[in-house]
Each structure stands twice: as structure tokens, then as C-alpha cells.
């Protein structure tokens, strides 16, 4: 005889919400790359595609949204929308959490981002404003600023490049995870720069635990490159959250080298990642090769699914 299922009280619920599934990503050993370095050096990478929206940007987007709601800048199911510029991953994270929280999301982004990103964002219900591809992420940022100034009652401008909640998310989550997962043995942290939030937050946290930890930034070798989501700081609008004194060194990488390493991660490590992960692996391997002993940790921002249309990335 069928009976009506009993409703579960909050204390008996087995499920988890999207915010509760953010973070605590695996730390992976890069087995094939490991063979090229001293056996007393460990080369490890955080697999950030395990986050709800599929990238590291879930951490910052969630903290930005929660902080805005706590302050009353945004209200679930309210009239005001979150507005920001994005090259894709932060926007996808905003749209993912916005859909679950009842927050409308409007995004300015370059029109030449991968079609997979545009399709994902539209599926998640985000309103898209596609900007001049020749102006890159800076052009999208300026468009978002203009819209925020023109319609402050309609939009709350999240401004991921200048919002301290961006780097604070990594200070509170990513940094402590790395410290715990390496039992406090991490000696070097390597991260690519876009908004710089990951580098700033993790770098500050690790330094607070051990002043000798080396923090290494990674950026494209010049202003004209094919590395979506990465910034060449000297030629771009510099994020207000970026403070160069947090890192000890900057490693530059070329588009061609990054593409080759991204393919290598897929074909030798079985890790299907985006190009920023290829950049992170390339720089982390360079650091690891210098050492006789140590624990080098880097971070792989996302998986490769959003880049399948980039034929030049996968063909070789």
C-alpha cells in the first residue's frame, strides 16, 4: 500500500545547496610532469572545475553575491539586477548562483568569447550585452561601468576587478584548503592573473601562515594574445584589488606554449582543462625544475568544455 512520503525537516535533509558545494576541490598530483623534476619536489594542482559553475570563479562570485545580499544591495526576487563585465567564467558563476537565489544577472562581455560560453549563459537566463571584441575585457568593463552609472536603480555593479570580496573569497577558502591539503608543507604557489583575486587571496593567506612561501604570478607575454581570461597587467586596466607586493615573481607565457601544455595535460595527464590551466601548469613546471626539494601548488581554473570551438588550441 502506497503511503504519502513524510516531509523532511531541515535537520533530516540529506541534500546540499549550491553554495554548500562550492570549494573543497581536489588537489591532484601531476604524474607525468612530475617525472621531469627532482623526486624531492611535489607538483600539485587544485582541480577547480569541481565547483558548481565549473570553475574557480564560483568562489568569488558566491562571496560577492552573499556580501551584496547581506548589505541589502541585492534582494532575492527584487527589481535590481547584478551587473558586471566578464570574459565568461565569473559570468557563468553569477548566473548559476543568481538563478538559484532569485537574482537577475546582466553581463557585458566581448563578442568573440567562445560560443559555448554564450550558450551556457543564455541557458542560465543571463542577459548578455556583447561588446567590441577588439576592446577585449577592458571594453566590456567600461560598458558595465557606463550602464551602472546610467541606471543605478536597475543595476548593482558587482565590479569583480575592484571588489575586495573577490580576493577575500580565496583568503577564506582556497588558501586554507591548500594549507590543509599539503599539511602546511606548501613552499610555492603559482597562479594565473585575470582579476588577480585568486593570487591575492591565496597569497595573503599562505604568507600569514608562513612568511617564506613563494608566490608566483603568471601572465601572457604581451598585450596581444589568445589566452581568454588572462590579463597582461602592464597594458590593461589594472584591477584595484591587484597589489604587486603580494607576489615575489611574475612568469610570462606565450600563447603557443600554453596551447601545447594544455594539449599535453589532456593527452598525458588525462586532465581536460582550459587554456589558463595550461598556463598555470607551464609556469609551475618551470618553478619546479629549479628546485631540489619543495611543494609547488598551482590552480587549474576550469575544464576544457567551453573551449572546444577553439580549433587552434586542440590541433597539433
Instruction: List the catalytic residue out of 57, 137, 231, 306.
Output: 57
- Residue 288 C-beta-side C-alpha neighbours within 13 Å: 28
How far is 277 from 133, CA to CA, in rounded Å?
Answer: 23
Q: Is 203 exposed, middle or buried (0-12, 13-18, 19+ CB in 10 A)?
A: buried
How far is 106 from 259, CA to CA, in rounded Å?
Answer: 31
Do 53 and 88 contact (CB within 8 A), yes or no?
Answer: no
Rg of the chain over Cα atoms, rounded to whole angstroms, equals 20
- Residue 89 C-beta-side C-alpha neighbours within 13 Å: 27
Q: Is residue 172 annotated as a catalytic residue, yes or no? A: no
- The three-point CA angle 252-258-259 to 5° equals 155
How far is 261 from 284, CA to CA, in rounded Å?
Answer: 11
C-alpha cell of residue 91 = 559570468
Which helix H or strand E contains 123, and what residues bound it? helix 115-123
Q: Is 197 exposed, middle or buried (0-12, 13-18, 19+ CB in 10 A)?
A: buried
Residues 6+ apart with CB under 8 A from 282: 218, 253, 257, 258, 261
Q: Is residue 306 annotated as a catalytic residue, yes or no? A: no
Which residues participate in catalysis according to the annotation? 57, 276
Amino acid at each position: 500500500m502506497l503511503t504519502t512520503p513524510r516531509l523532511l525537516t531541515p535537520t533530516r535533509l540529506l541534500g546540499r545547496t549550491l553554495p554548500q558545494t562550492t570549494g573543497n576541490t581536489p588537489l591532484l598530483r601531476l604524474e607525468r610532469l612530475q617525472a621531469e623534476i627532482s623526486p624531492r619536489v611535489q607538483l600539485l594542482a587544485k582541480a577547480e572545475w569541481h565547483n558548481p559553475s565549473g570553475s574557480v570563479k564560483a568562489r568569488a562570485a558566491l562571496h560577492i553575491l552573499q556580501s551584496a545580499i547581506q548589505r541589502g544591495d541585492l534582494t532575492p526576487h527584487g527589481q535590481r539586477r547584478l551587473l558586471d563585465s566578464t570574459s565568461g567564467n565569473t559570468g557563468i558563476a553569477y548566473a548559476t548562483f543568481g538563478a538559484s537565489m532569485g537574482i537577475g544577472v546582466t553581463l557585458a562581455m566581448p563578442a568573440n568569447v567562445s560560443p559555448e560560453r554564450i550558450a551556457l549563459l543564455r541557458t542560465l537566463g543571463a542577459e548578455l550585452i556583447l561588446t567590441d571584441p577588439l576592446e577585449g575585457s577592458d571594453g566590456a568593463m567600461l560598458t558595465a561601468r557606463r550602464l551602472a552609472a546610467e541606471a543605478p536603480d536597475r543595476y548593482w555593479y558587482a565590479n569583480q576587478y575592484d571588489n575586495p570580496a573577490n580576493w577575500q573569497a580565496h583568503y577564506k577558502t582556497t588558501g586554507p584548503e591548500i594549507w590543509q591539503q599539503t599539511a602546511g608543507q606548501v613552499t610555492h604557489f603559482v597562479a594565473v592573473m585575470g582579476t588577480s583575486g585568486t593570487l591575492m587571496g591565496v597569497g595573503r593567506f599562505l604568507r600569514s601562515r608562513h612568511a617564506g612561501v613563494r608566490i608566483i604570478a603568471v601572465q601572457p607575454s604581451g598585450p596581444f594574445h589568445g589566452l581568454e581570461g588572462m590579463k597582461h597587467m602592464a597594458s590593461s586596466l589594472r584591477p584595484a584589488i591587484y597589489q604587486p607586493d603580494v607576489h615575489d615573481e611574475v612568469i610570462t607565457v606565450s600563447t603557443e606554449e600554453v596551447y601545447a601544455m594544455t594539449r599535453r595535460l589532456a593527452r598525458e595527464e588525462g586532465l581536460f582543462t582550459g587554456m589558463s590551466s595550461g598556463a598555470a601548469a607551464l609556469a609551475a613546471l618551470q618553478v619546479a625544475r629549479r628546485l631540489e626539494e619543495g611543494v609547488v601548488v598551482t590552480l587549474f581554473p576550469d575544464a576544457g568544455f567551453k573551449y572546444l570551438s577553439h580549433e587552434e588550441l586542440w590541433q597539433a
